[in-house]
Amino acid sequence: MPRIRTLLVVAIALFAIAIPSAQAGQTSTGNLVGSVGPGFTISFTQNGKKVTSLKAGTYKITVKDKSTMHNFHLFGHGINKKTVVSTTSTVVWNVKFVVKGTYKFHCDAHPTILFGSFKVK
């Protein structure tokens, strides 16, 4: 009987530890949108405003590639995700920003014209 009680205490303790860590790993949606095209324009916004910084964490990013001559390429600190230049697409990425620092995005076909960056703090 004491052995079962010990196991129960351990199980409850593990459960108590698991709950906060699950919450910490939750995805923040935050209405993040990466957009490129249809003209020569690229943007990364949150609720319609240009993103300059984000807290480290996992985010759901909706990427709208509205041009067959541009793509949206997000990269830095282990992140490297992109759409295809020759097609249009709308995709949702789950991106985990772990490392604090500057992240960049650009169009691979026009990296000196269409580019931007933001910080993860």
Contact positions toward Cu ion, by CB under 5 A? 70, 107, 109-110
Q: How far is the CB of 72 from Cu ion (least distance, A)?
A: 9
Output the smallest distance, CB 54 to Cu ion, in A: 24
* Residue whose CB is less far from Cu ion, 104 or 110: 110
Torsion angles phi and psi, residue 70, rounded to 5: -130, 165
Report the nearest approach of Cu ion to the CB of residue 41 (Å).
10
Is the Cβ of residue 83 or residue 120 nearer to Cu ion in the bound state? Answer: 83
Closest by CA position to 110, among listed 74, 85, 82: 85
